[in-house]
């Protein structure tokens, strides 16, 4: 999961490995919260980019 290019539409980080971790509250595949997953299609590109930034931090914290 690389972060998206700044000039491109922000892609979904979904990798089709959907399993919520009860300890972290994150999907084990994409590391998003259930709220981020549910809201993704309604988020602005800026919001999606902010989520991508959080995903990097979450992955590095593991």
Q: pLDDT digit string (tens) for 50-59?
A: 999 999 999 9
3-state DSSP of the chain: CCCCCCCCCCCCCCCCCCCECCCCCEECCCCCEHHHHHHHHHCCHHHHHHHHHHHHHHHHHC
In the numeric block, the tokens 């399993």 are attached to: 19
Residue 9 · residue 16 · CB < 8 Å = no
Q: Is the pLDDT of residue 15 over 60?
A: yes
* pLDDT for 2: 59
Instruction: Name the domain count of the chain.
Output: 1
Domain that includes residue 55, residue range: 18-62
Whole-model pTM? 0.82
Kindly state whether residue 2 falls inside one of the protein's structural domains: no
Query: What would the mean pLDDT of 47-52 be, rounded to a whole number?
Result: 98
In a domain, 13, yes or no: no
- Residue 37 CA from chain centroid, whole number: 7
> Is the pLDDT reported for residue 5 higher than 80?
no
Within a domain: 58: yes
């Amino acid at each position: 999961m690389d972060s998206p290019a700044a000039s491109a539409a922000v892609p979904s980080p979904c990798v089709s490995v959907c399993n919520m971790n009860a300890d972290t509250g994150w999907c084990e595949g994409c590391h998003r919260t259930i709220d981020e997953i549910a809201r993704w299609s309604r988020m602005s590109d800026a919001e999606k980019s902010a989520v991508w930034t959080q995903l990097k931090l979450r992955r590095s914290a593991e």
